[in-house]
């Protein structure tokens, strides 16, 4: 197929594209982002460009005036390239989201901001996940029969019939732009085209038609949008294969560390827009890194599936979240229809689609639904608990018979934010620690065996457990006044040195402070007390629970003994604990790869009951009692009580 070189100014980027590609599509391939709020349907009029050189074919649009035509101004989404070309993108047509500077983000996130980094998610193999692949968006190569005097079916109907014949899929509609392009494209491509189909709640739309066979290039993205961390995966939809996984801090953290402060900020002038742009910037950073590294054209990324708590999804879609924090705590929507990804600002194929996992309530969102789906809690006969440890700690209790969920605000400490030397689970993060009881000497293990840069959530849990066992601190979290080079006074109390700067990839010593310990103490108390209250509410004994699934962004390094030692997890038979990593991301991927799993997830969300902790008598008493390591009532932690440890 004939190809042409197209250069975009002022970026001075050149890309080679096939004849009949739109300027908008070519720009995306070149990494030039043109504002197209309508996703390329030719109705918003925001993608005006100036043709400096070359030949094009364009469609009529009310957005282009006679004066525009005289100045060689075209809509990028309606204009097809017919030769080598030079195109200027005016400033007002560029998609330029308001950005926080990296320096400002670094400052607000405590000095550990880093761009999207590759992370390894080792998923558990204790249960097979079996489902029929049927992706949210799929590409079909069609060799259409030529029309003749005996077969005068219209071009669009011809495509619909061939899709029905090949895949038994009934397509119900397409957009006007596709129909305008169809006649010439079918004939110039010798009736050989690729159709991209999107599943919108069981209704199939013809999203795009391309000349030739591009069916081998079909990719999707999944995101877990956490309050503190955004994780994403690039998936080959034809081969059901994950090509790469990356994570970065959610840049919304610059406006508040939890959902409540962000909801409040959203009510300020332009606050909602800034929060939306911040999370989109975090996501697009991951999109860019993954597609660049794997040499994927953004036009071949046809679908995105997002899971996140209810507030994160509202902010992603620029929906006012204010009622989430107002009694009776009702969100605008728990079930979000499939939309164009470009409507949300995600930089993929302009006609690519976005689905957000269904939520349950204001404080139990689609990330929990995705987690339940990935673990099959909705199908299990045994009673199980899912504890998702993050800024918003969510707990689900149930089986195939029932599911009940609650949420506790744990804060961002377990995700490496809000603590003095915290960082995500990335290269250089201290994740395992041993402290000598004799001289307080510290040995540690970092992710990737790199020089230490900071401490991740699992590292903090290990450190506090070791400090208790080595008698570095008391059970209330106060560091003891002992003469040792690792214990010293700071402005707010004492701190303990984990790694001196000479041995670290850091400009200062890596320490844990009494303020950090206090943050961890409050976070673990929120998770533990919420779990116990939920079990007690249903008059269930913890011993009746067969599985406790621990989810969160810890990698695979969370130590169960350390978690019990500090009172984060209950002191029960250890074989019941199963660490499952980022269950939200795993569930989102299942949905991206199978529309049947989307349907099942929606059924699960409708089935789940939300339990409001704030109105439960005794919750605050339970929480306060848990503000010690491991707890004020050591009878609940018999394995700790029986150890000959002076605490």
DSSP string, 469-538: HTTSB-TTSPBP----TTEEE-SSSEEEEEE-GGGSSSSS-EEEEHHHHHHHHHHHHHHHHHHHHHHHHT
Question: Quick one: fold of 3-93?
Answer: Ubiquitin-like (UB roll) (3.10.20)
Answer whether residue 69 shows pLDDT above 70.
yes
Q: Do domains 3-93 and 137-211 have the same CATH topology?
A: yes
- State the pLDDT at residue 32: 87
Domain ranges of the chain: 3-93, 137-211, 366-412+520-641, 417-510
Mean pLDDT, residues 456-465 = 95
DSSP H or E run through 599:
helix 595-607
Model confidence over 320-379: pLDDT tens digits? Answer: 999 999 988 999 999 999 999 999 999 999 999 999 999 999 999 999 999 999 999 999
- State the pLDDT at residue 394: 95
- State the pLDDT at residue 97: 47
Report the percent of the chain where pLDDT is more than 70.
93
192-200 and 137-143 strand pairing? antiparallel
Model confidence over 90-147: pLDDT tens digits? Answer: 988 886 544 444 554 454 444 444 567 776 665 654 555 667 889 999 999 999 999 9
Residues 6+ apart with CB under 8 A from 100: 108, 251, 254, 278, 281
Answer whether residue 456 shows pLDDT above 70.
yes
Dihedral, CA of residue 411, residue 415, residue 418 and residue 419, to nearest 10:
120
Answer whether residue 436 shows pLDDT above 80.
yes
- State the pLDDT at residue 98: 45
Taking the C-alpha atoms of residue 116 and residue 454, their distance in angstroms, rounded to an integer, is: 16
Q: For residue 643, name the pLDDT band (cuts at 50, 70, 90).
A: low
Question: Quick one: fold of 137-211?
Answer: Ubiquitin-like (UB roll) (3.10.20)
Please tell me what DSSP assigns to residue 418.
S
Cis peptide before 328 (omega within 30 of 0): yes
Taking the C-alpha atoms of residue 43 and residue 60, their distance in angstroms, rounded to an integer, is: 11
Q: For residue 284, name the pLDDT band (cuts at 50, 70, 90).
A: very high
Among the listed residues 427, 500, 416, the one whose alpha carbon sits nearest the alpha carbon of residue 456: 416
- State the pLDDT at residue 96: 55
Model confidence over 223-237: pLDDT tens digits? Answer: 999 998 999 999 999
- State the pLDDT at residue 608: 97
CB atoms within 10 A of CB 115: 12
Answer whether residue 406 shows pLDDT above 60.
yes
545 to each of 70, 580, 582, how far by Cα in Å? 74, 17, 22
Please tell me what DSSP assigns to residue 299.
G
Contact present, 236 and 243 (Cβ < 8 Å): yes
- State the pLDDT at residue 93: 87
Answer whether residue 473 shows pLDDT above 50.
yes
384-389 and 392-398 strand pairing? antiparallel
392-398 and 403-409 strand pairing? antiparallel
- State the pLDDT at residue 366: 97
Answer whether residue 641 shows pLDDT above 80.
no
Answer whether residue 249 shows pLDDT above 90.
no
Taking the C-alpha atoms of residue 212 and residue 628, their distance in angstroms, rounded to an integer, is: 66
- State the pLDDT at residue 122: 54
Residue with tokens 């065996």: 449
> Given CA atoms 590, 595, 598, 600 in this order, what sign does their dihedral have?
negative
Taking the C-alpha atoms of residue 472 and residue 86, their distance in angstroms, rounded to an integer, is: 68
Mean pLDDT, residues 612-640 = 92
> Given CA atoms 33, 293, 309, 603 in this order, what sign does their dihedral have?
positive
How far the first Cα of the chain sits from its last, in Å, is: 76
Residues 6+ apart with CB under 8 A from 8: 14, 15, 27, 30, 32, 87, 88, 89
- State the pLDDT at residue 426: 81
Q: For residue 67, name the pLDDT band (cuts at 50, 70, 90).
A: confident
- State the pLDDT at residue 382: 94
- State the pLDDT at residue 60: 81
- State the pLDDT at residue 112: 47
Contact present, 319 and 271 (Cβ < 8 Å): no
Domain 366-412+520-641 has CATH 3.40.50.2300: no
- State the pLDDT at residue 107: 47
Contact present, 558 and 122 (Cβ < 8 Å): no
Q: Between 622 and 253, whose confidence is greater?
A: 622
Answer whether residue 43 shows pLDDT above 90.
no
The average confidence (pLDDT) of the chain is 90
Mean pLDDT, residues 439-455 = 94
- State the pLDDT at residue 645: 45
Taking the C-alpha atoms of residue 389 and residue 531, their distance in angstroms, rounded to an integer, is: 11
Taking the C-alpha atoms of residue 459 and residue 441, their distance in angstroms, rounded to an integer, is: 16
Answer whether residue 198 shows pLDDT above 60.
yes
Mean pLDDT, residues 544-550 = 95
Angle (nearest 5°) at CA 569 between 257 and 260 = 20
- State the pLDDT at residue 567: 97
608 to each of 265, 305, 400, 401, 406, how far by Cα in Å? 30, 21, 11, 10, 10
What's the pTM? 0.87
DSSP string, 261-278: HHHHHHTSTTHHHHHHHH
């Amino acid at each position: 197929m004939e190809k042409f070189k197209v250069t975009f100014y002022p970026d001075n980027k050149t890309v080679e594209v096939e004849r009949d590609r739109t300027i908008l599509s070519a720009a995306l391939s070149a990494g030039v982002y043109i504002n197209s709020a309508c996703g390329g349907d030719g109705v918003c009029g925001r993608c005006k460009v100036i043709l400096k050189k070359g030949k094009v074919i364009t469609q009529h649009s009310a957005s282009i005036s006679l004066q525009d035509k005289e100045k060689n101004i075209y809509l990028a989404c309606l204009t097809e390239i017919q030769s080598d070309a030079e195109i200027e993108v005016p400033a007002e047509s560029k998609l330029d989201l308001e950005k926080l500077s990296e320096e400002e983000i670094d400052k607000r996130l405590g000095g550990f901001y880093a761009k999207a980094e590759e992370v390894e998610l080792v998923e558990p193999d204790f249960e097979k996940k079996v489902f029929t692949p049927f992706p949210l968006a799929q590409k079909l190569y069609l060799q259409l029969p030529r029309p003749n005097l005996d077969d005068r079916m219209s071009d669009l109907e011809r495509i619909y019939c061939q899709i029905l014949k090949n895949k038994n899929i009934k397509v119900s509609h397409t957009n006007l732009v596709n129909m305008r392009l169809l006649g010439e494209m079918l004939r110039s491509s010798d009736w050989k085209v690729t159709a991209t189909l999107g599943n919108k709640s069981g209704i199939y739309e013809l999203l795009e038609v391309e000349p030739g066979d591009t069916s081998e290039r079909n990719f999707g993205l999944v995101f877990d949008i956490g309050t503190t961390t955004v994780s994403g995966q690039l998936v080959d939809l034809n081969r059901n294969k994950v090509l790469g996984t990356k994570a970065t801090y959610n840049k919304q953290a610059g406006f508040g560390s939890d959902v409540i402060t962000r909801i409040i900020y959203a009510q300020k002038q332009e606050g909602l827009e800034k929060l939306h742009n911040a999370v989109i910037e975090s996501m697009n950073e991951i999109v860019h890194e993954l597609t660049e590294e794997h040499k994927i054209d953004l036009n071949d990324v046809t679908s995105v599936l997002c899971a996140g708590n209810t507030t994160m999804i509202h902010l992603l879609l620029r929906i006012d979240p204010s009622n989430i924090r107002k009694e009776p705590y009702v969100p605008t929507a728990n079930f979000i229809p499939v939309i164009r990804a470009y409507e949300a600002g995600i930089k993929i194929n302009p006609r690519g689609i976005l689905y957000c996992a269904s939520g349950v309530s204001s404080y139990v969102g689609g990330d929990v639904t995705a987690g339940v789906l990935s673990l099959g809690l909705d199908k299990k006969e045994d009673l199980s608990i899912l504890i998702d440890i993050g800024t918003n700690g969510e707990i689900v209790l149930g089986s195939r018979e029932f599911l009940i969920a609650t949420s506790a605000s744990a804060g961002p400490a377990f995700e490496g934010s809000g603590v003095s030397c915290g960082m995500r689970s990335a290269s250089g993060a201290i994740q395992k620690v041993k402290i000598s009881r004799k001289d307080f000497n510290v040995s540690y293990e970092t992710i990737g065996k790199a020089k230490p840069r900071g401490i991740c959530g699992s590292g903090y849990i290990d450190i506090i457990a070791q400090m208790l066992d080595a008698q570095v601190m008391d059970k209330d979290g106060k560091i003891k006044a002992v003469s040792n080079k690792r214990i010293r006074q700071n402005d707010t109390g004492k701190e303990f040195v984990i790694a001196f700067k000479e041995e670290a990839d850091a400009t200062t010593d890596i320490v844990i402070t009494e303020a950090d310990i206090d943050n961890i103490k409050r976070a673990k108390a929120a998770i533990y007390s919420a779990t116990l209250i939920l079990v007690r509410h249903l008059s269930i004994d913890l011993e009746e629970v067969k599985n406790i699934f621990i989810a969160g962004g810890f990698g695979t390094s969370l130590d169960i003994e350390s978690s019990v030692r500090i009172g984060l997890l209950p002191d029960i038979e250890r074989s019941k604990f199963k660490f499952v990593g980022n269950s939200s991301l795993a569930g989102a991927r299942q949905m991206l790869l199978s529309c049947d799993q989307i349907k099942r997830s929606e059924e699960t969300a409708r089935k789940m009951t939300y339990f409001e902790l704030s109105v439960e008598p005794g919750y605050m008493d339970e929480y306060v009692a848990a503000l010690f390591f491991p707890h004020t009532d050591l009878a609940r932690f018999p394995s700790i009580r029986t150890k000959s440890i002076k605490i």
